[in-house]
Structure 1
């Protein structure tokens, strides 16, 4: 993986790699899949936000002993950040990323699925607020400064690219993509879609996909494993 793009980041954390091995196992049940995805998302998200955010002073407060101290928040501020899960399995990563941020941020959902014969993404849902803010309602909408896209899998990279294009068209300035597992090809494709505006962080990276577009050895259909819809 030495030749991956400069904006691709694959975690080498030993605890994360151990959890990823547990998640790969066919014997791991739905409840443990949910827990492991959450924990891996927390670890990858921690690394991604450490790089993608900065601390800034935000006034003063008093400690329980009465001492004054300088408070801090993030830059961009939470009000300028959007969390964007890709339906449906991206929902499993929202609590982890939300818990890392100092205060709640808007969550905007994108519904994308891969058409079975072409493996190309099809958008079926989009609740980005395309309307603009007004002087009387400055928080009414408009693009975020930073969008954090969460989706457990980057296989061919087509879905990630479609999400990046949608958010870029919306007007975001930067995008951080957080995933549990990617392929080398998918990671390269996602990173190249908007090289100057996107950073992609993943827990692990496999080499390729099979003829059905599933990662080898991968995690199986992680959405089915999360939501017990195997055999639908």
Structure 2
């Protein structure tokens, strides 16, 4: 399946990701273990995504504790924002932040799916406002974190929001996606978006827009809101 997906889609083949994803799928996995597994999968997938999406640049010279000189390096681009999609994207935030060598901006996007149409509704957006043509406050790279891409509507809406903001490049990191949702997201902005996922389920989503077999409502599982 991975070979037939768009070129801007990357599905993990890491054995540990596959094993942890299998554990995460189980309905018997506790909220505590669900949070831990999402964090761990986000770390593994995020390592691959950032290795591909960043480069190193020389920044000068420093000295070791033994007073030997060495060349210092940092990442490029350095002006990065992480955008967790509320609620469940919060479970991936610490993992991606820990991978980066320096703190970066975090801008939250709150979205929910309207029950009858399954279309995303944005209820919160704290991207910094800027006047048209003034891109000084716009990040060079935006990293979307959202555990599940089901129908693809939410990540497509997030991509549109970031394009309107003026971001030139986006990396999306997820734990699991449906094949149809992933294709839809990949086609939203092929030249500007790279999508990295831990696994893909080939079946169509059900009438509630949920992936089969999927992970269930990962937000409810993470925050013990099942049966709300």
| TMscore range, shorter length | over 0.9
What secondary structure is seen at the aligned counterpart in 2 of 1:93? Answer: helix
Aligned length: 224
Over 4 Å off, 4+ runs: none
Counterpart contact for 1:59–1:70, Cα < 8 Å: yes
What secondary structure is seen at the aligned counterpart in 2 of 1:219? Answer: coil
Counterpart contact for 1:129–1:141, Cα < 8 Å: no
Aligned equivalents of 1:130, 1:166: Cα separation in 2: 12
Structure 1 stretch 45-54 or stretch 206-215: which is displaced more?
Answer: 206-215
2:166 to 167, 171, 174: 171
1:220 to 209, 216, 221: 216
Structure 1 stretch 123-132 or stretch 179-188: which is displaced more?
Answer: 123-132
Structure 2 match to 1:206: 201
Aligned equivalents of 1:141, 1:117: Cα separation in 2: 40
Aligned-pair Cα RMSD in Å: 1.3
The alpha carbon displacement at 1:59 in A equals 1.4
Aligned equivalents of 2:130, 2:119: Cα separation in 1: 28
Structure 1 match to 2:186: 191
The alpha carbon displacement at 1:3 in A equals 1.2
2:140 to 133, 145, 156: 145
The alpha carbon displacement at 1:64 in A equals 1.2
- What does the per-residue CA deviation read over 1:17-46, in whole Å, with 9 as the maximum and x for residues that have no partner? 000000000000000000000000000000
Aligned equivalents of 2:35, 2:113: Cα separation in 1: 22
Aligned equivalents of 1:184, 1:120: Cα separation in 2: 18
What secondary structure is seen at the aligned counterpart in 2 of 1:173? Answer: coil
Aligned equivalents of 1:104, 1:81: Cα separation in 2: 9
Please give the TM-score of this superposition, normalised by the length of structure 1: 0.95
Q: Which runs of 5+ in 1 are unaligned?
A: 133-139
Aligned equivalents of 2:74, 2:180: Cα separation in 1: 36
Structure 1 match to 2:93: 94
Q: Which runs of 5+ in 2 are unaligned?
A: none
The alpha carbon displacement at 1:141 in A equals 6.3
Please give the TM-score of this superposition, normalised by the length of structure 2: 0.96
Aligned equivalents of 1:17, 1:169: Cα separation in 2: 35
Aligned equivalents of 1:91, 1:160: Cα separation in 2: 15
